Structure 1
Amino acid sequence: MFMIWKFTTAVFLFGFLLSGNLIGQELLPVKKSEFVGNEPNRKQAFTQVKEASELYQKGIGYVPQSLNLFLSAYNLNNNNPELNYNIGLCYLIAGPKDAALSYLLAAQSANADVSADIHFLIGLAYKYQNNFSDAIIHFKMNKELIQQNKYKEQKELLPISDKHIQECRSGRLLMKNSLDLEIQPVEGNVNSEFDEFNPQIIDSNLFFSSRRGLENDSRSPEDQKFFEKLFKASKSEVLDIEVCEEKNNLGENVNSTLLSKFDDKQFVFYNSNSGAGDLFLAEKERGKWKIGKAIKFINEKDSRESSASLPQSGNEIYFVSNRKGGFGDCDIYFCKKESESKWSKPINIGGDINTEYDEGDVFISADGTKLFFSSKGHNTMGGYDIFKSDRRDDGTWSKPINLGYPINSTDNDITYCEDQNGIFYFASERSGGKGGFDIYCQKIPEPVIEEVAEEVIVEPVTELPETKIEVPATLPPVSFKSEAVAITETPVKQELVEEDFVYRVQIAAARKEMDPKDLFKRYKGGDVIDHLFVENWHKYTIGGFLTFKEAAKYRDACGVKDAFVVLFKGGYRLGIARRPFEAN
């Protein structure tokens, strides 16, 4: 299963900001006079800035093109704060996300108030570089500036910043207790500059979905990416699926994804050509995948069913749906087989596994004892993380365990699966791959994949003829053990010391640098005065107080009637502090 919503549905800004996916975020206007200045050779570059802004407005699919134009203009003027901000924002959307940091820091350095959300974006960029402490600092800076009413229109970022702070704390602990294993991108031609996801091992072959395509292939209007297609990579030289060259009858504008084996004859597919997206049965007929009947006991008319998995016994089926009545937007459900032809009604798996955030996809082990799923809730370290739950003796599921680092990252990690020998595969959007989502596996001595076969075409049929499915061949066994990682809160006082928030008392500010004599006439005390040049103002401050109360006491006793308290992080001035800073 893949997060189909990301490509085919509209999602509220909250959801995008929460995952770090900033679709819909506005660019900053770049003024021609400030960009060009007295350099005539920058005029042509400014036309690229305008074109980049126009492309960005067309939607997420055009952000990579917009980014390239901004970078070209940057080569002629790298000091413009708005341009640096726009480049950083584009990197956070189009990737690689960890490349955004230097541009956002440059924007903030050139103009501390370049945007109301600059510290939020810097926090995201630090997070994607696994620098959790600095990320927390900037998320807290963002909160404090909003709470001081400097950016009160950004109040929706307060709970989102809290969620990111929580994820950073989890990430810090998960990386500290990282698993003793290595992962690697699947070798061969499986991964590409496009999205690859949803690996499935069938008949000793790796099936996966990809959004690769040829230039004239159909694209999704939402993100300008090619529609999903099914591909196969073979470990052996013999390909057991004949490639169908003709167009399928489902049409080109369809996402089809192989999800799970249903029984000895049939498999479960996701298909976007029905309602919001439904689950179908399918089988191989003369080497071709044939989409058959919809799974009526699961699908609902107005909901999307987008992931499914069955144990080898075939007595249960677990699936993901955004139907009404769940704990969050997408929840995990299951049905039990009651007879040869009858299944129970869908049952929500419960609040121990489902959260107020999205659960993205599900995989159950062949023996039915382990449930793997992706989620934005629990103790995720960013976006979707992959979790595991064990079946208890009474049939219920244990509290989920984060699979930890390096399987999970600060970006989206999804569509986990194992073969019958415990070899695991998953898809990740992390930086360092070939582009978008790539498929990863545990590092093993021999390459698992040699090359990708041609595209597998899915064709619809109304009936499913009897066909015997061969038992999948085995791959070299690899053991994998995931240990529970205990997550505990970092003590607030310790965190504040680490993050170095201080209060200072500002006694003067002027457009032109003040003469020392004039400054000492204003302030007659003996403490050291620090001189800062911020936002085209010369600002003069005293002290380094750990609490607002201490700073306010000094402000009232310093002899400067219009003095006030300012909050600092290190050498950076956050703004006026009118009340005590709240850590959380």
Structure 2
Amino acid sequence: MRRLIYTFATLFWLSTNCYHLKAQKNTTITKQVQLKLKRAERLFDSEQFPKAIEAYKELLGTVASGQLELPNKETELNAHLRLGLCYLYGSNQSLALQPLKYAHQLNPDYSPLLDFHLGDAFVYNRKYYEAVQSYQSGIDKSRNAKSKYLELIHDRVSKEDFIKVSNKRIKEANFAKKLIGNPLQASIYNLGPKINTQDNEYAPIVSNDNSMLIFTGSHESDGHEDVLISHTKERKWEAKEPWQHFNSKHHESAVFLSLDGNRLLIYQDYGSGNLYESRLNIETGPKYNESTITSVKKTRKRRRKTKKRDKKVMSRGKVSSSQKTKHAWSKPRSLGKHINSKHRETSGCLSPDGNTLFFTSDRPGGLGGLDIYMSTKNKKGRWSKPVNLGPKVNTPYDEEAPFLHPDGTTLYFSSMGHNSIGGFDIFKVVITGENDYSEVENLGFPINSQANDMYFVSNDKNHRIAYFSSDRAGGVGGKDLYRVIMNSASKKPLAKGDMLSFRVFFRYKDANIPKKSLPAVEALVSFMKNNPGLTIEVGGHTDNVGTRKNNELLSKQRAEVVYKWLVSKGINEKRLVKKGYGSKSPVIPNETHYARILNRRTDFRVVALRQQ
């Protein structure tokens, strides 16, 4: 009996100690899990997504190997959900699919917002049928939700807005399937590690002679923006360097350089953020990388670096202007009260003659978000009250980064509205009159992607070579700079009667070539020398102001002055024919001030081609 009692006592002691040892071990494991979870969540909440990805992968890896155990199913779901969102907000969006699918399998009814994000992940993997199903599932679940608002982690959105955005995503997915099925014959090249980094590079500006690249770089850690510059060597971009005389401890971004290289539009976050202009006196000033520029002190709230496709958080900014002093770019000078407001003015560009400005603003009275506006200079050289480009161009969503091609009529811009593949897409319209435009055209795939594609610029006369920025998958870092070259096979050979893309614009009632138009005629000289079998007509034109006799005389004078300039640059006069057309051949009807600006021109037509 004593032996039996002893045996039971021994077993009780052993079981009790084993229980305490197991409880102690479980307590240790739980603490390890909590520490790892808190670290990962802290990185996620502070939007340090690359570090958060590593933290969640480490945590879930130890769980999968059996070393650790998560306390419950919801904790496991949240860990996979946050990992998926980290990928969506980063530069490897396609990797979001597996963790989001796993989270959805754990609880398909968790939140309509989970269905929405899963739909985004399907899109980044070009699984459009599954994406549409996922978006539609989220819509159906939201309609059955009792609350007017839907929540997921830190997101809170009304059912009405959720359904609206989800339907937009469905439209985008269906359009992407169609567009990607008919790709452009174009080649896209990442500019590589000499230009792009693990951070963000965007807003490219290429000088008219293609020798200089100006762009903006921002750091993921603090969002600080600087202007960077690179030059070509043996047709390749050299390593970038900061434009030291331009940058400061504040935020700067160059947004446009004139064709003659003497006028630079600058975004600065001074006050609410505006656009400014700096000027260079080419006769006394040094080259771009040698010049000095004075920055305006400013304050700016730190930008959120989120990559949520429908929530672009930007600080207020403005556009400014300045005149050059000897051996320096001038101090940036504001473009005036009509351009800069209490709201954001984020980007802009000038027409070839410098007298028309296109810019973006979220001021009241627009169609929604950032809209594109147009302003012209009055007789005193001041910018007029801007006009919204209207519903043909602007949408309830953001429009950004307008760029007017040197042809003076093709306007490129980025938009989250219109028919897009997703995020910001690049579009173009042709200006057919003052505040009158052709139908908006999506530039197509592969220029546009499921990511944010923006800041398209091209000085190429045939629109074949261009630069833009994108945060698409496969880049060096976040936003990268890319070069696009349209397939040369799609380029039509020149034929008799073809109009060349070069144009020389003139001032009102004037026949002298303005400095702003010199890059166009210099480019024409190079073109003529590279095509020695070409004979062209130099055609002078006027607007419809004044008498027919005076306009015919003025048009002949404009043709004559360009003709003489070409001959002085070595073009054989036998390859040139000059003619004045007066006002009878307008580019667009002479019904508005802007139309008359475009019609005061000299253009060039092929009259003979000789095989070499």
2:42 to 43, 50, 54: 54
Q: Does 1:265 pair with 2:262?
A: yes
Distance 1:184 1:42, change over 3 A: farther
Alignment of 1:432-581 (within 5 A): 432-443=474-485
**Residue 182 of structure 1: SS of its match in structure 2?**
strand
- Counterparts of 2:416 and 2:387, CA distance in 1: 21
- Structure 2 counterpart of 1:208, one-letter code: I
- Counterparts of 2:84 and 2:62, CA distance in 1: 17
TM-score (norm 1): 0.63
Q: Deviation at 1:396?
A: 2.4
1:196–1:211 CA contact under 8 A, matched in 2: yes
- Counterparts of 2:357 and 2:61, CA distance in 1: 55
2:62 to 71, 76, 80: 76
- Counterparts of 2:25 and 2:84, CA distance in 1: 23
Structure 1 residue runs of 5 or longer lacking an equivalent are 1-35, 214-222, 447-466, 478-584
**Residue 144 of structure 1: SS of its match in structure 2?**
helix
Distance 1:470 1:73, change over 3 A: farther
TM-score (norm 2): 0.60
Residues 358-383 of structure 1, C-alpha deviation per residue, up to 9 Å, x if partnerless?
Answer: 10110000021200000111111111
Distance 1:362 1:387, change over 3 A: same
Q: Paired residue for 1:159?
A: 164
Q: Paired residue for 1:126?
A: 122
Q: Deviation at 1:394?
A: 7.3
Q: Paired residue for 1:174?
A: 179
Alignment of 1:312-327 (within 5 A): 312-327=352-367
Aligned length: 410
Q: Does 1:67 pair with 2:53?
A: yes
- Counterparts of 2:255 and 2:292, CA distance in 1: 10
Q: Deviation at 1:225?
A: 3.2
Q: Deviation at 1:431?
A: 0.9
- Which structure shows the higher helix fraction? 2
- Counterparts of 2:196 and 2:247, CA distance in 1: 26
- Counterparts of 2:292 and 2:388, CA distance in 1: 31
Q: Paired residue for 1:102?
A: 98
**Deviating more after overlay: 96-105 vs 111-120:** 111-120
Q: Deviation at 1:75?
A: 1.1
- Counterparts of 2:416 and 2:267, CA distance in 1: 22
- Counterparts of 1:240 and 1:136, CA distance in 2: 41
1:279–1:305 CA contact under 8 A, matched in 2: no
- Counterparts of 1:419 and 1:406, CA distance in 2: 20
Residues 111-133 of structure 1, C-alpha deviation per residue, up to 9 Å, x if partnerless?
Answer: 33344422111111111222211
**Residue 75 of structure 1: SS of its match in structure 2?**
helix
Distance 1:65 1:312, change over 3 A: same
**Residue 76 of structure 1: SS of its match in structure 2?**
helix
Structure 2 residue runs of 5 or longer lacking an equivalent are 1-23, 65-69, 71-75, 151-158, 294-330, 489-514, 528-612
Alignment of 1:240-279 (within 5 A): 251-261=248-258, 265-279=262-276
**Residue 55 of structure 1: SS of its match in structure 2?**
helix
Distance 1:244 1:273, change over 3 A: farther
Q: Does 1:288 pair with 2:330?
A: no
**Residue 158 of structure 1: SS of its match in structure 2?**
helix
Q: Does 1:412 pair with 2:457?
A: no
- Counterparts of 1:108 and 1:424, CA distance in 2: 41
- Structure 2 counterpart of 1:201, one-letter code: V
Q: Deviation at 1:309?
A: 1.1
Distance 1:42 1:440, change over 3 A: farther
Q: Paired residue for 1:233?
A: 230
Q: Deviation at 1:386?
A: 0.6
Distance 1:469 1:123, change over 3 A: same
1:271–1:280 CA contact under 8 A, matched in 2: no
Distance 1:294 1:240, change over 3 A: farther
